[in-house]
Amino acid sequence: MSNLDTQITAILNRSKTIAIVGFSANPDRASHGVAKFWADRGARVIGINPGLAGQDFFDETVVATIADLPDGVDMIDVFRQSDAVAGIVDAALVRFDTLPTIWLQLGVQDDLAAAKATARGVDVITNRCPKIEARRLGI
């Protein structure tokens, strides 16, 4: 197993509360499918979408912003364009003194923002899908 696979396995095994930035109510959207995948496996999944704030999905209330998240988030999974990542990372670092993981979905990358988060001790995975990785690694 590669070092990256070992890191991803550790992240996925320890992530029990996952916030989904860009969560969609549409079951056909990837963000909804990933949220359902984790919820079906017993994770606490909190959607972040200002247009859906206050609505309940997967037994949790969607929040408008990262600032509205409860304590105890293990992973922030980002379904947004790469140009939005810097602001998302900044908001996450302000909201959480310690945040284990920021995960940037397929096609999403911002090396400067990732380096900033890594410097604060956050594990950052870019341009991958945790659902795909969990299936590939048998998690």
The per-residue pLDDT string of the chain (139 residues; one tens digit each, 9 = 90 and over) reads: 799 999 999 999 999 999 999 999 999 999 999 999 999 999 999 999 999 999 999 999 999 999 999 999 999 999 999 999 999 999 999 999 999 999 999 999 999 999 999 999 999 999 999 999 999 999 9
| Residue range of the domain that includes 93 | 3-137
For residues 65 and 63, give the distance between their C-alpha atoms in angstroms, rounded to a whole number. 6
- Check which CATH number belongs to the domain holding 46 and give it: 3.40.50.720
Q: Distance from first CA to last CA of the chain, Å, rounded?
A: 14
Total domains in the chain come to 1
Please give the pLDDT value at position 1: 78
Burial readout 77-98 (b: 16 or more C-beta within 10 A, e: otherwise):
bbbbebebbeebbebbbebbee
Give the pairing of strands 17-21 and 75-78.
Answer: parallel
Give the separation between CA 27 and CA 96, rounded to whole angstroms. Answer: 29
